[in-house]
């Protein structure tokens, strides 16, 4: 498809007049007003002659991924001041996908665009010379990336880092004899799967409670390769964060100096006039896509990287992931698809080591905020643990972790994390069980009314129909925990978590609310999934599908007031990034 033009009102990189905007705010007689207000916050005459750096902090007490960012912001400000600039901090919201599961999930994807707008408008209002983006989790990182692309002010990202894994004191009695017994190190995804195992009477109530209590071991992003860590790795691969920033554990003592160094570096970027659009190019974004594919990253990247690309006129779509995935081997797997966590990735050398492995496939000349090219960072790195990061000569799989399927059920595409699918389910034909919401399928799973071979179709969960394209990660994890991950598939116009494993296909387009073929599926219809051949088909004659859709009527809007009503009316399809649009 043709690339989108750059957003109006934002000049192309290199065409903007370089000025220190902060000094403009404070200059002359007119500057007395903002100077007076900043004096109330401790600024002095000397500060008014310095570059003004905005510290964009997504600190939150409702999200463990961002709970520690106040301390990180303080370290960043030390670095900014050491480099001779002034710092001013402001906040944006930071939701947690895990906490919002269920009804709260309607708000999560819409908040990505709210975050982007809030950062964009605050930066425009305050005329900062440069920005430091402090963020950790699923929608906050892409929202800030979208804002950085729109503003094109010198910007550096400081990622919050992964959470340390928890530990069980000893293997549980129920696990001790199981062939798939997990090690004593546990993370949040173990809680979701434990829900299914508890319901299937595979673990006791006491064991279930202990997993709940020990899984989250302090602040940071959940330790699996979910959307949070996927997007953090993508940011570093894009060159918008200093090397090592994405995977350094949240509470590692080295994070203090990394934050100070980032604060110093943003001042240099302002003086050098290095702007994010130098990194957000077609080549840079394709580097990020390849890193995502090679690490078995979250399918949600197929929403977020296209949304960022749209802001700069680059051509990144879900099909880009599928095209590049065919020549990008899978070099690592992380929980829940393996025993490794993102902390293990850091011990293996982090994203610099990943770049080192993938160097022959990457655009090595792409620049970074570190002042070195991607190729230079890759050349200086090495793999420190070959069990975590495999080489191109001996990958875990010949293709990357994400595949895009098409067919009579998904003419505009659907997305699956093929690296997390049992080989026995790469091709599957089974009868449809149709559900109109996440709650319906969750209740059916809890009632243990799902049969091996079934294909669970959950519709009206798309961007407009949900609204908000909810993440069905808990039903997916329950399915695996109940031992059905190698015999039952799930298909939805909603989405899944990066922590999802099993034959879970999301982002079906067009969605049911828009009259896509998923709206025509009936109980008992056969559905064929063929991931190697990239097919997803409703085994019903085309004329019958057409007849059903001709009789179909959209269900009444789920929400008829407030922001989500507006979002439902304006949001675009998942295969275009689910961005807000004005028609």
Neighbours of 566 (CB within 10 A): 14
DSSP 8-state symbol, 368: -
Phi and psi at 419, nearest 5°, equal -70, -15
DSSP string, 386-407: TTTS--TTS-SBSS-SEEEEEE
Active site residue 497: yes
**CA 352 from centre of chain:** 20
Within 8 A by CB and 6+ apart from 553, the residues are: none
CB 565 within 8 A of CB 557: yes
Assess whether the previous peptide bond of 336 is cis (omega < 30° from 0): yes
Of the candidates 450, 456, 460, 401, the one whose C-alpha atom is nearest the C-alpha of residue 428 is 456
CB 390 within 8 A of CB 384: no
DSSP string, 422-433: -GGGSEEEEEEE
CB 435 within 8 A of CB 458: yes
SS3 275: coil
| CA–CA separation, 378 and 190 (whole Å) | 33
Of the candidates 428, 508, 441, the one whose C-alpha atom is nearest the C-alpha of residue 478 is 441
Of the candidates 552, 551, 526, the one whose C-alpha atom is nearest the C-alpha of residue 538 is 526
Dihedral-angle region of residue 57 (phi above 0 means left; psi in -120 to 50 means alpha; beta otherwise): beta
Among 189, 338, 419, 497, the active-site one is: 497
Neighbours of 10 (CB within 10 A): 17
Adjacent-strand bridge partners of 278: none
Distance (Å) of CA 288 to CA 45, 297, 316, 403, 437:
43, 11, 11, 16, 33
Within 8 A by CB and 6+ apart from 288, the residues are: 234, 235, 237, 238, 305
DSSP 8-state symbol, 561: S
Dihedral-angle region of residue 198 (phi above 0 means left; psi in -120 to 50 means alpha; beta otherwise): alpha
DSSP 8-state symbol, 103: G
| CA–CA separation, 333 and 420 (whole Å) | 8
Where do the DSSP E strands lie in 397-493?
402-407, 410-417, 427-435, 455-458, 489-492
Neighbours of 464 (CB within 10 A): 26
| CA–CA separation, 529 and 532 (whole Å) | 9
Q: What is the dihedral of CA 250, 94, 581, 306, to 10 degrees?
A: 10
Q: How long is the chain?
A: 583
The residues annotated with a catalytic role in the active site are: 497
């Amino acid at each position: 498809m043709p690339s989108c033009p750059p957003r109006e009102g934002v000049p192309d990189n290199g065409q903007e007049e370089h000025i220190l905007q902060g000094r403009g705010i404070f200059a002359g007689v007119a500057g007395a007003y903002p100077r007076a207000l900043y004096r109330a916050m401790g600024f002095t005459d000397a500060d008014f002659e310095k570059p003004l750096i905005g510290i964009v902090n997504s600190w939150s007490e409702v999200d463990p991924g961002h709970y520690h960012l106040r301390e990180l912001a303080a370290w960043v400000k030390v670095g900014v001041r050491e480099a001779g600039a002034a710092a001013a901090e402001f906040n944006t919201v930071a939701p947690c996908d895990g906490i919002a599961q269920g009804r709260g999930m309607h708000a999560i994807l819409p908040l990505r665009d709210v975050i982007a707008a809030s950062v964009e408008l605050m930066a425009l209002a305050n005329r900062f010379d440069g920005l430091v983006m402090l963020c950790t989790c699923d929608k906050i990182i892409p929202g800030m990336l979208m804002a950085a692309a729109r503003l094109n002010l010198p910007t550096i990202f400081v990622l919050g880092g992964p959470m340390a894994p928890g530990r069980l004191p000893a293997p549980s009695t129920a696990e001790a004899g199981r062939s798939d017994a997990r090690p004593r190190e546990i993370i949040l995804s173990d809680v979701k799967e434990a829900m299914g195992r508890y319901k299937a009477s595979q673990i006791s109530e006491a064991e279930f409670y202990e997993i709940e209590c020990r899984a989250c071991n302090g602040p940071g992003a959940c330790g699996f390769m979910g959307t949070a860590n996927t997007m953090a790795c993508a940011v570093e691969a894009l060159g918008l964060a200093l090397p090592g920033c994405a995977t350094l554990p949240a509470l590692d003592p080295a994070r203090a100096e990394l934050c100070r160094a980032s604060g110093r570096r943003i001042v240099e970027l302002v003086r050098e006039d290095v702007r994010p659009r130098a990194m957000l190019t077609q080549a840079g974004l394709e580097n990020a896509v390849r890193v995502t594919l090679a690490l078995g990253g979250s399918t949600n990247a197929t929403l977020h990287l296209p949304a960022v690309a749209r802001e700069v006129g680059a051509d990144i779509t879900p099909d880009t992931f599928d095209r590049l995935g065919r020549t990008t081997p899978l070099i690592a797997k992380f929980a829940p698809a393996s025993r490794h966590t993102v902390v293990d990735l850091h011990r293996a050398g982090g994203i610099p080591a990943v770049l080192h492995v993938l160097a022959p496939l990457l655009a090595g000349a792409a620049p970074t905020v570190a002042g070195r090219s991607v190729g230079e960072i890759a050349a200086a790195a090495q793999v420190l643990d070959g069990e975590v990061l495999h080489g191109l000569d001996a990958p875990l799989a010949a293709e990357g972790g994400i595949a895009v399927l098409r067919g009579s059920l998904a003419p505009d595409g659907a997305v699956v994390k093929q690296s997390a699918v049992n080989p026995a389910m790469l091709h599957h034909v089974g009868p449809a069980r149709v559900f109109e919401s996440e709650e319906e399928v969750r209740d059916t799973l809890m009632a243990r009314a799902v049969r091996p071979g079934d294909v669970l179709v959950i519709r009206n969960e798309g961007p407009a129909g949900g609204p908000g394209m909810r993440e069905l990660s808990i039903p997916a994890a329950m399915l695996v925990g109940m031992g059905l991950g190698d015999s039952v598939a799930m298909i939805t116009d909603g989405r899944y978590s990066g922590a999802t494993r099993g034959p879970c296909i999301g982002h079906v387009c067009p969605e049911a609310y828009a009259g896509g073929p998923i709206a025509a599926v009936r109980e008992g219809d056969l559905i064929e999934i063929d991931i190697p051949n990239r097919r997803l088909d409703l085994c019903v004659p085309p004329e019958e599908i057409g007849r059903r859709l001709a009789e179909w009527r959209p269900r009444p809007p789920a929400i008829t007031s407030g922001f989500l009503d507006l979002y439902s009316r304006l949001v675009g399809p998942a295969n275009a990034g689910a961005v807000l649009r004005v028609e």
